[in-house]
Structures are given as structure tokens and as C-alpha cells.
């Protein structure tokens, strides 16, 4: 029973500390906190209006405020738009020519009826039928009688007058709506009043018979004219002077009063359960999108501590935005700073997605206008582009990136302002102020990102290129110790760092990461510096391994990666550097002591596994490059007369041996990468390995150094002998424990 409880407790402990459980916890609290924050603007602050829009208190203006009366402005716009006359355009298909031809045909047919040898009543009937009027009245009879009874001269004048009236109507233009509304008035307006009534009636009937619309409304041009008129309407403003009553107890608060109350710092919005549910859904959707993207495309950022960092940045910017007074412009919100920080600590693509989702949450929940969202969106994109290409050795480049973001935001503000205003309504003072705020926002974002970088690095233990640039400073405590206590190792590390940086850059790995890792990869040798040959030759002492057996020597040599990790933790180096220290030898064979053991103890008493390093194999391109560069530099340095052909053969041999031994099996290095790295090593070492003429001054200086170091050599030799004795005693104790 007790055993089962203990097992259950261990499982619960493992579950509680598991990365998946922590990420779910972060996701849950992020959802809860962000929902509360984005809703707090509506239900945590004092509301002076009840659910029926009735004021609960008397509100007196504490300062002069000017707000737009939207209802009156809209009414004024509607009134002005109704005054706009439709823009007309001619109907195609030669309608004017057709109507003139029809009028001529009509007059010809009347003339033919006049010439018929029939009685007058039949002539009247034929003319009335010609007009296709079913119901006869006094006026049509009067017009018909004049048409068949008038003289030839009178009829000729009638025809001329009819054509003139038609031409006048067509020249003025007439639409279908006008004809339907009052056709008679349109025609009568152009008939000569000096004519007899019967003549005017006859002309009216003739023209009315053939008249059709020759103009139509151009809806697009009319809409443009309407919009032009609307855009010229100035907003109707309501001004509340200091001391004016804005709202009284029990008064129904109108929209104009609400705007004034907002400018005075009061909260007039309400959010019910449905609204809070909407914000919860919005935040949940944004978080789900982020997790889905990271899980499927950049899974490394789902590992600790990246989810916590992303959640923290989202919560901090939300707190800042929510606490911002409503009368303060949103341009003070440093959205580009969030984009810069996310780019530095994660990746450009992840930063773009997360920043856009944060902007969506804030914009929708806090009802930001399209202007602010668009400006911040482009500003964030430029921030990501600029911060991903800065020189990390120059911190002011981050401020310069903020300067670039400010310029872009200033230009976008100008564009948005010009699109939303016309020449008459253009407020140059307001435009310049907004442009300056957009520029200041970008510049301030760069400064904020630069200032918060060290805090985030130390809090989340995430190393950035800026942190790596600091670690590359040779005044760092560990590098100073390495320089004075193990100068041979220090020089070796410098040479390896140059090889690593060049190789990493050639295959698209991180040059600064490879360089810094090379500086620290051998810091474990600080515990026993004189047991490593590069330091022995520097101090001019005998090799202490000559007094040790092969197994003990192997233990001393293979302990330096583990010792290095312990030193790295002691001096607060970031975990990523620990990985390079422990992986830079992988589980390679310590060949020299393995062969020595074979000679001394015989092959039947030796296992190859006993003479291998205990570290994991390199898991990144940079770690694999470090392993190869470390081996190549040491091997080439061991050559007595390094000719170029011999150096090239040595490099190819080492890379081939590491590949065959499986040391690169867990790294993403490809055959193409190895070929490129090999050529870079050869080119770099060609510059490092050069012959130098030995001057007499150099010889004298060396002799003086040897004399000065004579005493030191004796002291070091005694120190080594003491350490050898201690190592032997430690080895005997370990062997006795193993036998027991």
C-alpha cells in the first residue's frame, strides 16, 4: 500500500513538473488574465450611467471639451445629399435622330390623310387613329380638326414649329422619370405662346407622340457628386465649457453627452455576460492560433521558457493599454517594442504571428479605429524586419531600428490622415502632431526593447545574440582565468573560435553562437590545466601523464567536459553554452591513451568503451562544427612542419573519422555542409599556419624567459607530483570500491 502511494506520489510529481503540464497551466492563466484585463475597461471602472442610459450623478465639466454631435452631422449630410441633382448622360443608339425621323413620318402621314378624297369625319377619325388615342376628348378632336382643315401654309408652319419644339426638348435633355412625371409641361414650355390655342394643342400632340427619353442618370457620377458634397459637410460640434453641466441626475444621456463624458475621463461603456464571453472567445482563438502554429511549424518555442515569455509580453502590453486614459492617444502604446523583443527571443515568423494576434485582441476589445491598427500593423512588420538584421555587437543598432520604424509609422500616419480628410478639412496642426507621435512611438519602442533585453535574458535564462556578444568579451571572468591559468588552452580556444565562426557562416548556422561556444568549450581544463599538453608546452614542464597509467590519464582528460559544465553553472553561463561544453567531444575515443593501454595491458584486457568520453553527441550544426574545429586545430598544431598538402589531408582524415565513428549522427549536418566546412577549415588554416623568420632578439628573449622560469618549473613539477599522488590514491579507492 505504502509502495503504491509512493509510486503515485512520484507520478504526480513528474506530472506537475512536466513541460506539457506547465504549458497548459500558462495557457489557462493567460486566457484568464487577458480576458479579465481586456474586459476590465468595461466592468471594473466606475460607471455613471445605468442600464437605461440614465445618469446616476450630476456631472460638471472639469475642463473645456468639444465633441461632435453625430446625429446632427449625419442629418446635415443627408440634407445636403438630397440637394444634389442627378448627373445625366446621353442615351446611345442615335435616339435623337430616330425621334426627328418619326416626327417627319408623322407629318407625312397627316399630309396624306389631308389629300384623301373622303369626308371630314373620316379624316378626323384617321388622324385620331394615327395618334393611337383610344379615348377621345375635346382637345384631341380640336387638334385633329386643325390638322386636316388648316391651309397648306399653316400646316407647313405647324410642321416647322413642331420640329423646333422637339429640337429644343432634345437639346435640353429629358429623362424617363421626367417624362413620366409631367410630359406635357416639358413640351409646352418650348411652344410659342403667340400661336393660336389650336395650333399649340396640335404641336403638343405631335411632339408628345414621338418624344422619348434621350438622357439617363449616371449613377456612379451622381454618387461621386453626393460623396463630394457629404465630405465637404463640416461636423456639427458641441462645446462644453469648464463648469457646464454635462449630465444631470435622472437625465437620459445622449450619444453626444457620452462622448463628452469619455473625454472627461468617465467610463460610459457596459459589458454584459455575452460581451465578456465574446472577449473570452477572441482571446481563446488567438491563443489557440499561436499554439497551433508553434506546434506545427516551430515546435522548439513550445519548450520552457518560451511560452512564459510570450504570455508575459502579451499580458504586460495589455495592462499598459487598459490602464491608458481614454483621452490619451493610443500612439503611446509600444506595439513595435513587443515585435522587436519577440523577434530577438524567438523568430521573425513567430514574432509576426504573435504581434498581429496581440494587435487584433487589443484593437477589437478596446475598439481602436482602423487608423491605429493599420499604423501599428505596418510598424510591427518593419520592426520585425529591422530587428532581425541588426548588428548585435552594436547595441545602438536596436535604437536605429526603432528610428526606422518611427519613420515608417510617421509616413503611414500621413497617408491615413490624407485619405480620411480633404483639402478644406485638413488640420495641419493635428496631422503634424500625429506624425510626430507615430515617429516617437517607433523610436521609444527601440529604446524600450534595448533596455528590457538584459532583464528578460536574466529572468528567462534565454541567451540572445546580444547576450552572446557580451559573453564574447575577453574581460569575462572565466576567459580571464583561462588566459592566465591555462594560456595554452586560451590560445587554442581563440584559434578554434575563428574556425567555428567562418565555418558556421558558410553553412547558414549562427556564427556568433559558434564563436562564443568555442571560447568556453574547454573551460573545464581550468581545474587541472597542467595535465593538458598545450599548457605543458607553454610553462615548459614535463608531461605528468608519464607518471600515470593509461586509465587514470583517460579519467583526467575525459573529465574536463563535466568539469566545464560545473564551472559554467558556477559562473552563471546560459544553459545553451553548457550543451556545447558537454557535447564538443561526444563519445569520441581517447585514441592516444587507448593505444597506450593496448600496448601496456594487451587487447584482451581492454574495452574500447572504457576509453571514450561520456558526453552526448552534438545535436546542432554549431556543436558539430565545434567538435570538428577542436579536433582539426589540435591535430594541425601537432604537425612539426605543416605543409599545405599535409594539413589538407589531416583535415579530411579527421572529418572522415568523426563521420564513420557516428559522432555527427545526431546533428543536422549534411554531406554538403561537411564539404563546405572542410574547405573553410583548409582556407582558414592556410592563413594561420605560416612560417616566421627567427630573429636573434627572439632567441635571446627565449633564453632569458627560460632562466626566469627555472624556479617556477621546479615549483610546478612538485605541484604536479602531488596531484599525481592524489589522483593515484583516488584511483585506488575507486578500484577497491568497484571490487567490493
Q: Residue 287's pLDDT is what? A: 96
- Cell numbers for 103, please give them: 416626327
E strand or H helix at 90? strand 88-90
Give yes or no for a cis peptide into 296 (omega within 30° of 0): no
C-beta separation of 201 from 143 below 8 A: yes
Is 192 in a helix, a strand, or coil?
coil
- Cell numbers for 107, please give them: 407629318
The DSSP letter of residue 346 is S
C-beta separation of 521 from 493 below 8 A: yes
Burial of 666 (0-12, 13-18, 19+ CB in 10 A): middle
Give me the residue spans of the domains in the chain.
29-40+283-462, 88-217, 470-588+615-691, 693-740
**How far apart are the C-alpha atoms of 261 and 246, rounded to whole Å?**
7
Q: Residue 609's pLDDT is what? A: 85
CATH of segment(s) 470-588+615-691: 1.10.3210.10
**How far apart are the C-alpha atoms of 502 and 515, rounded to whole Å?**
9
- Which segments of the chain have a pLDDT < 50? 15, 44-46, 692-697, 699-700, 702-703, 706-708, 710-711, 714, 732-740
Three-state SS sequence of 420-460: HCCCCCCCHHHHHHHHHHHHHHHHHHHHHHHHHHHHHHHHH
pLDDT tens track for 677-689: 999 999 988 766 5
**How far apart are the C-alpha atoms of 346 and 386, rounded to whole Å?**
15
Helix, strand and coil content of the chain, in percent to the nearest 5, comes to 70, 5, 25
**How far apart are the C-alpha atoms of 629 and 499, rounded to whole Å?**
6
**How far apart are the C-alpha atoms of 274 and 282, rounded to whole Å?**
12
**How far apart are the C-alpha atoms of 452 and 455, rounded to whole Å?**
5
Is pTM beyond 0.75 here? no
Amino acid at each position: 500500500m505504502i509502495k503504491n502511494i509512493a509510486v503515485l506520489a512520484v507520478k504526480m510529481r513528474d506530472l506537475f513538473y512536466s513541460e506539457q503540464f506547465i504549458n497548459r497551466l500558462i495557457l489557462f492563466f493567460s486566457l484568464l488574465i487577458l480576458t479579465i484585463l481586456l474586459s476590465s475597461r468595461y466592468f471594473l471602472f466606475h460607471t455613471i450611467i445605468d442600464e437605461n442610459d440614465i445618469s446616476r450623478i450630476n456631472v460638471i465639466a472639469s475642463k473645456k471639451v468639444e465633441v461632435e454631435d453625430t446625429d446632427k452631422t449625419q442629418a446635415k449630410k443627408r440634407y445636403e445629399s438630397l440637394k444634389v441633382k442627378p448627373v445625366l448622360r446621353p442615351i446611345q443608339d442615335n435616339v435623337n435622330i430616330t425621334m426627328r425621323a418619326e416626327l417627319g413620318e408623322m407629318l407625312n402621314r397627316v399630309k396624306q390623310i389631308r389629300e384623301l378624297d373622303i369626308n371630314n369625319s373620316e379624316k378626323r377619325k384617321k388622324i385620331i387613329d394615327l395618334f393611337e388615342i383610344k379615348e377621345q376628348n375635346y382637345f384631341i378632336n380640336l387638334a385633329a380638326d386643325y390638322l386636316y382643315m388648316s391651309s397648306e401654309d399653316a400646316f407647313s408652319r405647324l410642321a416647322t414649329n413642331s420640329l423646333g419644339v422637339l429640337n429644343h426638348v432634345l437639346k435640353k435633355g429629358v429623362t424617363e422619370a421626367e417624362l413620366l412625371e409631367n410630359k406635357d409641361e416639358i413640351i409646352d414650355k418650348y411652344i410659342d405662346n403667340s400661336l393660336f390655342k389650336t395650333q399649340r394643342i396640335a404641336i403638343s400632340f405631335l411632339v408628345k407622340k414621338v418624344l422619348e427619353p434621350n438622357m439617363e442618370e449616371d449613377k456612379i457620377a451622381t454618387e461621386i457628386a453626393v460623396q463630394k458634397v457629404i465630405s465637404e459637410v463640416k461636423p456639427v460640434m458641441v462645446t462644453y465649457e469648464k463648469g457646464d453641466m454635462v449630465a444631470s441626475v435622472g437625465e437620459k444621456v445622449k450619444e453626444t453627452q457620452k462622448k463628452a463624458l469619455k473625454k472627461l475621463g468617465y467610463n460610459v461603456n457596459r459589458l454584459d455576460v455575452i460581451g465578456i464571453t465574446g472577449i473570452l472567445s477572441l482571446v481563446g482563438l488567438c491563443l489557440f492560433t499561436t499554439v497551433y502554429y508553434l506546434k506545427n511549424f516551430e515546435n522548439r518555442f513550445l519548450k520552457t521558457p518560451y511560452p512564459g515569455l510570450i504570455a508575459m509580453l502579451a499580458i504586460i502590453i495589455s495592462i499598459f493599454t487598459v490602464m491608458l486614459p481614454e483621452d490619451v492617444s493610443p500612439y503611446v502604446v509600444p506595439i513595435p517594442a513587443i515585435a522587436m523583443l519577440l523577434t530577438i527571443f524567438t523568430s521573425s515568423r513567430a514574432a509576426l504571428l504573435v504581434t498581429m494576434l496581440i494587435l487584433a485582441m487589443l484593437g477589437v476589445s478596446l475598439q481602436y479605429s482602423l487608423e491605429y491598427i493599420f499604423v501599428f500593423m505596418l510598424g510591427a512588420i518593419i520592426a520585425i524586419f529591422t530587428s532581425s538584421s541588426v548588428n548585435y555587437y552594436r547595441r545602438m543598432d536596436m535604437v536605429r531600428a526603432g528610428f526606422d520604424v518611427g519613420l515608417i509609422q510617421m509616413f503611414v500616419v500621413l497617408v491615413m490622415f490624407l485619405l480620411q480628410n480633404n483639402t478644406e478639412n485638413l488640420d495641419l496642426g493635428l496631422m503634424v502632431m500625429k506624425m510626430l507621435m507615430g515617429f516617437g512611438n517607433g523610436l521609444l519602442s527601440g529604446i524600450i526593447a534595448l533596455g528590457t533585453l538584459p532583464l528578460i535574458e536574466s529572468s528567462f535564462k534565454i541567451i540572445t545574440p546580444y547576450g552572446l556578444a557580451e559573453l564574447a568579451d575577453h574581460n569575462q571572468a572565466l576567459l580571464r582565468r583561462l588566459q592566465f591559468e591555462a594560456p595554452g588552452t586560451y590560445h587554442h580556444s581563440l584559434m578554434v573560435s575563428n574556425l567555428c565562426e567562418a565555418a558556421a557562416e558558410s553553412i547558414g548556422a549562427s556564427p556568433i553562437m559558434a564563436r562564443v561556444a568555442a571560447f568556453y568549450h574547454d573551460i573545464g581544463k581550468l581545474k587541472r590545466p597542467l595535465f593538458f599538453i598545450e599548457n605543458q608546452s607553454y610553462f615548459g614542464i614535463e608531461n605528468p601523464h608519464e607518471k600515470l597509467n593509461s586509465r587514470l590519464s583517460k579519467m583526467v582528460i575525459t573529465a574536463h567536459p563535466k568539469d566545464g559544465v560545473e564551472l559554467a553553472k558556477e559562473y552563471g553561463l546560459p544553459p545553451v553554452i553548457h550543451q556545447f561544453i558537454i557535447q564538443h567531444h561526444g563519445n569520441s575515443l581517447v585514441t592516444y591513451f587507448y593505444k597506450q593501454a593496448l600496448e601496456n595491458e594487451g587487447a584482451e584486457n581492454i574495452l574500447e568503451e572504457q576509453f571514450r568520453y561520456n558526453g552526448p553527441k552534438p545535436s546542432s550544426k554549431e556543436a558539430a562544427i565545434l567538435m570538428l574545429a577542436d579536433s582539426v586545430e589540435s591535430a594541425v598544431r601537432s604537425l612539426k612542419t605543416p605543409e599545405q598538402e599535409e594539413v589538407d589531408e589531416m583535415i579530411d582524415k579527421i572529418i572522415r573519422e568523426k563521420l564513420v565513428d557516428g559522432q555527427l549522427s545526431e546533428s543536422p549536418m549534411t554531406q554538403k555542409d561537411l564539404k563546405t566546412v572542410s574547405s573553410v577549415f583548409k582556407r582558414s588554416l592556410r592563413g594561420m599556419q605560416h612560417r616566421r623568420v627567427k630573429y636573434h632578439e627572439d632567441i635571446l628573449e627565449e633564453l632569458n624567459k627560460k632562466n626566469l622560469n627555472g624556479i617556477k618549473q621546479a615549483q610546478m613539477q612538485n605541484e604536479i607530483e602531488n596531484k599525481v599522488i592524489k589522483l593515484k590514491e583516488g584511483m585506488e579507492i575507486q578500484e577497491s570500491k568497484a571490487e567490493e
